[in-house]
Chain A
Amino acid sequence: MDRLMWGILLLPLTGFLINSLGMRLSNRAVSLVGPGSVLLAFLCAVGSFFWLQGQHSSARHSDLVFWNWTLVAGQSRFHLDFGLLLDPLSSTMTLVITGVGFLILLYSVGYMHGESGYRRFFAEMDLFIFTMLLLVLADNYLWLLVGWAGVGLTSYLLIGYYFERPSAVAAARKAFVMNVIGDWGIMVALFMMLILFGTMNFSGVFNQVHTVPFDGRIITVMGLLLLVGAVAKSAQIPLYTWLPDAMEGPTPVSALIHAATMVTAGVYLVARSYPIYQHAPKALHVVALIGAVGTVYAAGMGLTSNDIKRILAYSTMSQIAYMFVGVGVAVYSAGMLHLVEHAFFKALLFMGAGAVMHAMQDELDIRRMGGLKEKLPFTHLAFFVGVLSIIGTPLFSGFSSKEEVIGSAFERASHGDPILWLVWGLAVVTALLTAVYMFRVFFLVFYGAPRDQHLFDHAHEAGPYMRVPMMALMALSVLGFFLAIPGVYNEMEAWLSPVFHSGYPGMGGPAIEPQAFSWISLVITLLVTAIGVFMAWRIYYRREPTPERVGAAVPGLYRLLANRYYMDEIYDAVIVRPIVFTFRLTSRYFEADLVDAAVDGTGALTRVLSGRLRRVQTGYVRNYALSIMFGAVLLVGYFIVGGR
């Protein structure tokens, strides 16, 4: 068991070390080590999964402590037990990370073929997998933070993979700095834990949460600070602007990091910290509200964007917002279910987008595509499966998880939590918008007449390295449906129940019971989705009314959405520029003309004063002698007259 856990964590690290230090590795060796190490880690993850399944549900838990750190002895003791924690929650995450990670790395072998920096790509991807696994396997918040920053770092590196391209460099910088804002939040939350509980280990913190007042200010602040981290990492309002820009990275990176795994770490963090949030209902409400607003907000941007990867980025943001709704209404297993299923279909969609780009000579603008169905039948099918999943069609994976999330919100709202009606309403509206914007992409790319004949003529289907992973993910996107069938059974709920139902002492707030199923919510959502599909079909397939007319009907709204709510500009004008401007002024005037000038001024003053004083030095020996004499007389006089 211990070996399996070490294997999960260290195999990708080994892959990273081999690929990063092996200067003379051939591309073939690199493509063997990169995905191979992750495949082995995946096998370990599967092994540990079955080991966990074999345990009694109350014992599905393995904490492998290997370092006891006493950082500070004495009175303000600062002790940490470091270890790897394997429970159903982290096991789920490891399976997703290594499983989807392996498929995407395999896809990369085909996609990145012939790129300069091939070895660097796989080294960085392996490092990402390692840090992400560290994040989910850590049994304490400090190591979680180490992994948290590690994935931020690798995300930075991979966004800036084409580092001689200025837009990629700027996007990488933005992503990194925004993520560090989240690190700040987590760090301050950790300080609070240290003071309050004297530990940062999950079990230690959760066992003591009940010692602080329920729904009090302390615990709410702690929850909100953790949320700052989650929001920054998961690209939610207000720290989301980095995610669309992050599409500057290669498509496999977008698929793995900015869709399937890293950006969902925020959801994992909230789910993992559920005893804290259970104790702080206000903070949990904020989670749900940020999620609900985020779903619509991101979908709006997805409606008007013309960049195929950015549309997928907005849909990622919107889907993660769904996960936030799920955990925000305290049905953590629903959020986790959506996380897993989203990883399947969103990775598939990105792979499809990558295949389209591959065929279209890296063209991203959907207005220049069209009619690709006949050129790329396989990609068309894969993308279709992905679209059906994301909009929540029955028999596809997104259906079960999205219904769980929306239905849970409905149930919570109807059981005396009126704010959640708003959450539910927004989530349902987003179901419609999702159907519209996803089918918009689908129709514009694969149907209609080719809009760029030259690109169209040269389009060709991707090779086997890219197709095999897509097939696997298509299968998963369909099979994901059977993880849970609303109203029938919920495997995910049952699997995660040892985590979310065990309960820590004195756990307050609403009990985390399996949610009663709501037919009303299900029917409404399905209906709304169908309307959305119909609208997309009318506008983008039949073109009656044409998309241009729809846009012209609401020009203000259209402009707002097409310009991404002007948020980039607002942040730039309100935060970035003032800071730089202030410090530039400070550097030029305050530092140079005040602080430093005070120092130099002291020197200058001394020089002026001594300039006066130096006239005393006449250079005439007799003057000096006379003054010595005068001094001697004064001294003697002093002793004679009054020196006693």
Chain B
Amino acid sequence: MATTVNTAGYPLLSVILFLPGIVALFVVALPIFIPNTFRNDLHVKLLAVVAALVDFGLALGVLVKFAILQNGAGAQWVFQFSDQRSWIGSLGISYMVGVDGVSVYLVALTTMMMAIAIIAATFMIQDRIKPFMLLMLALETGILGVFTSNNLFLFYVFWEAMLIPMYFLLGVWGEERRVYATMKFLIYTVFGSFLMLVGIFYLYVKAGTLNMTTPTGGGLLGYLHSHPLSSSEQILLFLAFGIAFAIKLPIFPFHTWAPTAYSESPVPVLIALAGILSKAGAFGFIRYCLPLFPQAAHDLAGMVSIFAIIGILYAAGLALVQTDIKRLVAYSSVSHMNLIALGIFSLNSTGLTGSTLQMINHSIIISGLFIAVALITARTGTRRLTEMGGMGVRWPVLMWVFFIFVLAGLDLPGLGSFFGEFLILAGVFRANAWFASIAALTVILAAWYMIRFFQDTMNGPVVTSPQQVAETTPDARHSVYEFPVLQRLVNADLLSREMILVAPLIVLTIYIGIRPSTVTSRISPTTSSEVYIVHHRAPGSSTGAIGGAR
């Protein structure tokens, strides 16, 4: 059913997982023993960037060495690069990590995005840079833990652990209404996690183990295969897990924390929050909700899909009328994430593969768009669409870079995001043609709001007042940058360090657009075996409205 193998021979994945956290601890601990080390912010920045890049390099190594398994129907769900240590043996809790075709990309994506976020922080964050960097590194370990854990308890520990750095990052470095946004984010997510904890306890009491799978095919999956939960148990557990994931994703109507939190975050934190953390929710559905509670997944797929479709169109429509560009991007993010959720609940491998691919694309696009928002804000000193216009005349390179992200954001055919969207909708169409046709209407709304976003900032008559305001009021609070930097930016087109942030994203989105098959070839064996588990463990539900025989 599911197996684990280690293709590295040494615990490579654990190294990737703990490297950022250990570096952060090191920076905290070293001054205790050797005074006056890491006094210089520059050293901390440098160390953080190097750590993030090394981690990214290692993760790329995993991605390259990840074996593409050609397998037929009902194939094995294989975890590679596994590493298992006993931890709290008497409670059936072990330290167990491994990656499958879905999480291997999320690990690579996390390390890449965190590297970009940390590089961005080196010049976007001005005050208290040292704790910021440490928290970012700690956050990276937390997120990586979520994606690599193979034990439910370990998963939960990391799931909660990533909240702690996020809480401080948002609460300390956020913008004006940061306290409100942070509390909302925290309470919302913690509410979800506690329900999940209850579910985990129940599973533990029931199965006596929390390992997802073992090298011999045992573990939770094996147990649930031989002792299926009753239908009502499954639905309750599905909801206990699912609400936590739905909040993180966020699926309509659990989305309202997102625009608030996104619009108050500094951009490096946003890259982590919108770019990666939201994927943890989608990943949770794929990794836990579907294979553990297949019957409930079948029964609830239609309902979740309807919420997701509402969310897609609703958030897209709200993006259309926003005047704050950060909120606009936030709503577009919510719209795209709901599409990913819809793909997951098509319960077929096309939709799941599309959703995974779209997670990568969404991360690229949304990070790119938020970086663009930061670049625009740094030059104009405002986030209001009505106070902008004609920026393309002054900053043509910025305009074109921004335009590429806008095109990726409206899923232009030929760019990476299109193939993700196409696979998702094709999968959904297979499950329910009406759902797909209606959800596909989002391309029209997306084109509309994205082009509006682009034109109102970059095109039209030149509007000069906001940046003049910024020039005359040296108040760093209104800007991502401190004032001296802003002064330079007002006259400078894209700086080379800003180019470093966006260049990999642009290259990646074009590459995925040209060769999506290189990405999906690793994903689809995992999703198809998962789909097999879902469909062959859900008795008597093969005729549902959604998620038919395939």
Q: Indicate whether A and B are direct neighbours in the complex (CB within 8 Å).
A: yes
9 A-B pairs closest in CB distance:
A74-B528, A191-B429, A149-B413, A69-B517, A583-B317, A180-B447, A163-B459, A596-B256, A146-B414
- Kindly report which residue of chain B lies nearest to residue A191, judged by CB atoms: B429
Q: Which of A70, A156, A194, A595 contacts B256 (CB 8 A)?
A: A595
CB <8 Å contact, A153 and B317: no
Q: What 1/0 flags go to B158-193 for Cβ under 8 Å of A?
A: 000000000000000000000000011001100000
Separation in Å of the A200 CB from the closest CB of chain B? 10
**How many chain B residues touch A (Cβ–Cβ < 8 Å)?**
70
Residue numbers in B under 8 Å from A74 (CB-CB)? 71-73, 75, 349, 524-525, 527-529, 531-532
CB of A71 within 8 A of CB of B524, answer yes
For B322, give the chain A residue with the smallest CB separation.
A587
Name the A residues within 8 Å of B407 (CB-CB): 153
Are B414's CB and A149's CB within 8 A?
yes
Q: With an 8 A cutoff between CB atoms, is A150 at the interface? A: yes
Q: Is B66 an interface residue (CB 8 A)?
A: no
Say whether B256 contacts A76, CB under 8 Å. Answer: no
B430-451 near A? 1/0 per residue, CB < 8 Å: 1001001100110110011001
Cβ A150 vs Cβ B414 within 8 A: yes
Cβ of B437: which chain A residues have Cβ within 8 Å of it?
188, 191
Flag the segment in B123-131, B204-212, B228-236, B420-428 that touches A.
B420-428
Chain A: minimal CB distance from B183 (Å): 8
Q: Which residue of B lies closest to A584 (CB)?
A: B321
- Whether B444 contacts A72 by the Cβ 8 Å rule is no
Q: Contacts A181-B444, A183-B443, A191-B433; is A71 near B321 (CB within 8 Å)?
A: no
| Inter-chain contact B451/A72, CB cutoff 8 Å | no
Pairwise interchain contact B531-A75, C-beta atoms closer than 8 A:
yes
A75 adjacent to B521 (CB under 8 Å): no
Of all chain B residues, which has the CB nearest A590? B314
With an 8 A cutoff between CB atoms, is A608 at the interface?
no
Q: How far is the CA of A586 from the CA of B433 in the complex (A)?
A: 28
A202, B351: Cα distance in complex, Å: 24
Q: Are A164 and B188 in contact (CB under 8 A)?
A: no
Q: List 22 A-B contacts (CB under 8 A).
A: A70-B521, A71-B517, A73-B70, A74-B528, A75-B348, A160-B459, A163-B458, A164-B390, A164-B459, A164-B462, A172-B451, A172-B455, A177-B444, A180-B410, A184-B441, A187-B422, A190-B422, A195-B430, A586-B314, A591-B256, A595-B253, A598-B253
Across the interface, A188 reaches (CB within 8 A) one of B419, B436, B525, namely B436
Separation in Å of the B60 CB from the closest CB of chain A?
22
Give the complex CA separation of A73 and B410 in angstroms: 27
Given the interface contacts A164-B393, A599-B188, does A75 sit within 8 Å of B459 by beta carbon? no
Known contacts A76-B350, A149-B414, A71 near B320 by CB under 8 Å:
no
Query: Which residue of B322, B460, B516, B531 contacts A166 across the interface (Cβ within 8 Å)?
Result: B460
- Using A150-B413, A177-B451, A191-B426 as known contacts, say yes or no to A72 and B318 having CB atoms under 8 A apart: no
A73 touches B525 (CB 8 A): yes
Nearest-neighbour CB distance to chain A for B360, whole angstroms, equals 14
Q: Which residues of A contact B187 (CB under 8 A)?
A: 603
Question: CB-CB < 8 A to A191: which residues of B?
Answer: 425-426, 429, 433, 436-437
Which of B412, B427, B451, B462 touches A173 (beta carbons < 8 Å)?
A: B451
Q: Report how far A583 CA is from B348 CA in the complex, Å.
A: 33
- Consensus secondary structure, chain A interface: helix
Residues of A within 8 A of B70 (CB): 73
Q: Is A51 an interface residue (CB 8 A)?
A: no
B183: which A residues are within 8 A, CB to CB?
A: 603
Interface: A579 (CB within 8 A): yes
Of the candidates B353, B429, B452, the one whose C-beta lies within 8 Å of that of A195 is B429
**Which residues of the other chain, A, contact B525 by a CB distance below 8 angstroms?**
73-74
* Distance in angstroms between the alpha carbons of A578 and B462 in the assembled complex: 29
Confirm or deny: B31 has a beta carbon within 8 angstroms of a beta carbon on chain A.
Answer: no
Cα A181 to Cα B447 with chains together (Å): 9
A171-198: CB near B (< 8 Å → 1, else 0) gives 0110011001101100110111011000
Q: How near does chain A come to B25, taking the closest CB pair, in angstroms?
A: 35
Task: Fill in one digit per residue for A144-174: 1 if any B CB lies within 8 Å of its CB, else 0.
Answer: 0110111001001000100110100100110
The answer to whether A76 and B349 touch (CB under 8 A), given A163-B459, A164-B459, A184-B441, is yes
**B residues bordering A, Cβ < 8 Å?**
70-73, 75, 183-184, 187-188, 253, 255-257, 314, 317-318, 320-322, 348-350, 353, 390, 392-393, 407, 410, 412-414, 418-419, 422-423, 425-427, 429-430, 433, 436-437, 440-441, 443-444, 447-448, 451-452, 455, 458-462, 515-517, 520-521, 524-525, 527-529, 531-532, 550
Give chain A interface residues in 591-644, CB to chain B under 8 Å. 591, 595-596, 598-600, 603
Q: Which residues of A contact B253 (CB under 8 A)?
A: 595, 598
Nearest CB in chain B to that of A582: its residue: B317
Pairwise interchain contact A71-B462, C-beta atoms closer than 8 A: no
B252 CB → nearest A CB, Å: 8
9 further interface pairs, Cβ-Cβ under 8 Å (given A73-B525, A74-B525): A72-B350, A74-B524, A164-B390, A187-B422, A190-B426, A579-B320, A582-B317, A583-B320, A587-B321
- Bound CA span A343–B72, Å: 51
Question: Which residues in A have their C-beta under 8 angstroms from that of B410?
Answer: 180
A580 within 8 A of B: yes
Q: Is the CB of B452 within 8 A of A173?
A: yes
With a CB–CB cut-off of 8 A, which chain B residues contact A71?
A: 350, 353, 419, 423, 516-517, 520, 524
In the complex, the chain B residue whose C-beta lies closest to that of A80 is: B517
Smallest CB separation, B166 vs chain A (Å): 18
Contact B532 A78 (CB under 8 A): no
Other-chain contact of A586, B256, B318, B430 (Cβ < 8 Å): B318
Selected from B414, B433, B459, the residue in CB contact (under 8 A) with A169 is: B459
- A73 and B71 contact, CB distance less than 8 A: yes
- The residue that A579 contacts in the complex, of B75, B255, B317, B412, with Cβ under 8 A, is B317
- Shortest A310–chain B CB gap in Å is 22
Contacts of A173 in B (CB 8 A): 448, 451-452, 455
- CB <8 Å contact, A184 and B440: yes
Complex Cα distance, B441 from A87, in Å, reads 34
The reply to whether B353 and A72 form a contact with Cβ atoms under 8 Å apart is yes
Chain B residues whose C-beta falls within 8 Å of the C-beta of A72 in the assembled complex: 349-350, 353, 423, 520, 524, 527-528
Establish whether residues A187 and B524, one from each chain, have CB atoms under 8 Å apart when the complex forms. no
For the complex formed, measure the closest distance between the CB of B39 and the CB atoms of chain A, giving whole angstroms: 41
Shortest distance between the CB of B405 and any CB in chain A (Å): 14
B443 & A76 in contact (Cβ 8 Å cutoff): no
Residue in B closest to A153 when the chains form the complex, CB atoms: B412
Tell me, in angstroms, the Cα distance from A426 to B71 when the chains sit together: 59
Q: Determine how close the nearest CB of chain A comes to the CB of B270; give it in whole angstroms.
A: 20
Residue of B whose beta carbon sits closest to that of A134: B414
Q: Kindly provide the distance from the CB of A106 to the nearest chain B CB, expressed in whole angstroms.
A: 26
Across the interface, name the chain B residue whose C-beta is closest to A68.
B517
With both chains docked as a complex, state the minimum distance between the C-beta of B523 and any C-beta of chain A, in angstroms.
8
